[in-house]
Amino acid sequence: MTAEAGKRPVTLVTGGRRGIGLAIAEAFAAAGHDVALTDIVRDDAADAAIARIEALGARAHFVAFDLADLSAHETALAEIEAALGPVDILVNNAGIGAVVRGDLLELLPENFDTVLAVNLRGTLFFTQAAVKRMLARRGLHPRAILTVSSVSAALASPERTDYCVSKAGLAMFVQNLALRLADTDIGVFELRPGIIRTDMTVKVSEKYDRLIADGLVPAGRWGEGADIGRAAVALASGAFGFATGTVVNLDGGLAIPRL
């Protein structure tokens, strides 16, 4: 908590209190960034996440709000900016899974709407608000918008169509945003994780252990949050600025078509 505001880049990670989001936040803190985390609640996990960020020498700030509530976006961004300074890197990580996995023909409109409201609508309009703030000033550090989608943006799973549609929509949003910001200094990238070991995948770990052992993932292992974090930091460094709009598959080869 000792770094002077403005001297270090500021990274904002949505859905950052656990899992992939926390791993990304830790990677940025270790790389010399101050870090803002958001999530839907502030609980023991959120406090532990803040402690882990601060232990890496970074200033940290947490804001709890519902990403689906568009009216909360500006308030959250203003609070983060007041606490840490202007945001240089936005990592869109927050998202929810299918409300109910099951037959596509039984998918309920309200469940579809719940998933899209967070994963696509909420992310799109939160990004819009953050980008307007970025464009209103000159950047002191490399700037980027990183959106964590999923291999499900391209690989179909009929039992969770709502989730897949939300991620496919995010992929198209990233492409449009990259074109809109191509002549600025803000890089835009999509990260597509595959099967990643987190507390959210514990319930299906035995299933995927078997599938990975049977060759589903060419790399022969689970992905780890640190795999995503390292890639995010690299993309945000400014070194890949001319590659804006690029999709980076972080899946151990899962999405490569095979015979």
Catalytic residues: 163
β-pairing verdict for 60-64 and 34-39: parallel
Phi-psi region of 129 (alpha: psi -120 to 50; beta: other; left: phi over 0): alpha
Handedness of CA 30, 36, 129, 139 (dihedral sign): negative
Write the CA distances from 64 to 43, 70, 157, integer angstroms: 9, 13, 31
**149's tokens:** 């989608």
Measure the CA–CA gap between 184 and 199, rounded to whole angstroms.
37
Measure the CA–CA gap between 155 and 239, rounded to whole angstroms.
29
The phi, psi pair for 257, rounded to 5°, reads -60, 135
Task: Assign 3-class secondary structure to 14-74.
Answer: ECCCCHHHHHHHHHHHHCCCEEEEEECCCCHHHHHHHHHHHHCCCCEEEEECCCCCHHHHH
